[in-house]
A and B are shown apart, each in its own frame.
Chain A
């Protein structure tokens, strides 16, 4: 084992910084498995780079810096995967028929009038529906609609073109509208 500064005790990293790191990863990735993986990668990255730890700094922010890079890598990766797969998001086949018209089932379903939903109900349902979004769609939707980021910054951070940003927003909106409708129709609010 490498020689360590006393304050750099990796056996305490999880107990002292785990909460903060995990909360950050979850806020960005919206998925428990992905967040756990990212935190794990950050911890391992930290262990590998113990010798590069700047002696005057604190462990928390240093680990957070490593985690942020891991999170961005993941977001870029999932955004790229989506681009590569093109038009195959299953939500499109659920809502539309092969001619691109609203499918029979979609037209027969109880329509949702979002404006008739009370805000408290809405927030409860929205939370659950956000968790069901694919991570790249969630990252884009949360970035644009909740954090109100400007599109240029968001594209840079996620490593996607503006065209792909719009594709992901479209799918996220279709999914959320359908999820909210379905949960509302089940009387879940």
Chain B
């Protein structure tokens, strides 16, 4: 019998690869009885859906163009200058 920590790993894996029939049975038995794991499962399935819907928004605002903070820029300028002597 898997404990809840291992069960969340199996639940996560089931979104990544085919799990065995035996594992699938254990998963279903477990989540029938365990509300926390059941909620974890529905939340990560929902998370996958939501993340894909949010993709556009994330791409613009966060995932792609992070702008170079002025302090970082100054430090990098300094590094290059020092190397050029």
Spell out A's residues near B (CB within 8 Å). 1, 10-11, 13-15, 18-19, 22-23, 26-27, 32, 35-36, 39-40, 43-44, 47, 92, 95-96, 99-102, 106-107, 111-115, 117, 119, 122-123, 126-127, 130, 142, 144-146, 148, 151, 162, 165-167, 169-170, 173-174, 176-177, 180
Asked if A111 contacts B13 (CB within 8 A), the reply is no
Of listed B8, B46, B63, B68, residue having the most chain A CB within 10 A: B68
Asked if B76 contacts A36 (CB within 8 A), the reply is yes
> Contact residue range for chain B?
35 or more
Q: Taking the complex as formed, is B22 at the interface, i.e. its CB lies under 8 A from any CB of chain A?
A: no
A178 to B17, CA, bound (A): 23
Contact of B12 among A100, A142, A169 (CB under 8 A): A169
Contacts A40-B79, A169-B16 given; does A174 touch B54 at CB 8 Å? no
Asked if A126 contacts B16 (CB within 8 A), the reply is no
Which residues of B60-85 have CB atoms within 8 Å of chain A's CB atoms? 61-69, 72-73, 75-77, 79-81, 83-85
List A contacts of B37 (CB < 8 A): 102
Contact of A1 among B55, B76, B79, B85 (CB under 8 A): B85
Asked if A174 contacts B8 (CB within 8 A), the reply is yes
Could you name 10 residue pairs across A and B whose Cβ atoms are closer than 8 Å?
A: A1-B84, A11-B80, A14-B80, A27-B65, A100-B5, A119-B53, A162-B17, A166-B13, A166-B16, A167-B9
Contact of A114 among B47, B57, B63, B66 (CB under 8 A): B47
